[in-house]
Amino acid sequence: MTISKKFIEMQDLILAKTSLEKVKLHVEERKGNTIYSWVGNEVAEFMRRYSKDKELNPCTSSLEKSLKEQDSESLMKSVNDCIKILSKKIELTYNSLMEDQK
């Protein structure tokens, strides 16, 4: 993969993580009063884009299930799981970019 393609991939991962962090803050602040329609809109692109990713598929599936059930606890768990996976992928992509620079 070219350096520019890796860089764009890393940017996309960072944007997805930022979106999930916004959702996390919303759910933490509102707990039982979570606005699930807003959360659904906020994570729609993330779920569309990463639902076929082998590492992120389980968390996108649980995220979708949590939204349908409107369960704030399982939603938080799903969001946290997705953020962890994205952080790992960002770090791997960044390290790969740095290796290519050498």
Which structural domain, as residue segments, surrounds residue 24? 3-101
- Tens of pLDDT, residue by residue over 41-70, are 999 999 999 999 999 999 999 999 999 999
Query: Is residue 31 scored above 80 in pLDDT?
Result: no
Per DSSP, 72 falls in state: H
Q: How many domains does the chain have?
A: 1
Query: Is residue 33 scored above 80 in pLDDT?
Result: no
Which of 2, 9, 4 shows the shortest CA–CA distance to 92? 9
Question: Two tokens at 73?
Answer: 């606890």
Residue 9 — pLDDT band, cuts 50, 70, 90? very high
In b/e form, how buried is each residue of 42-79, taking b as 16+ CB within 10 angstroms?
ebeebbeebeeeeebeebbebbeebbeeeebeebbebb
Name the residue with tokens 């991962």: 13
CA atoms of 73 and 89, how far apart (whole Å): 25
Per the CB < 8 A criterion, the answer to whether 9 and 22 are in contact is: no
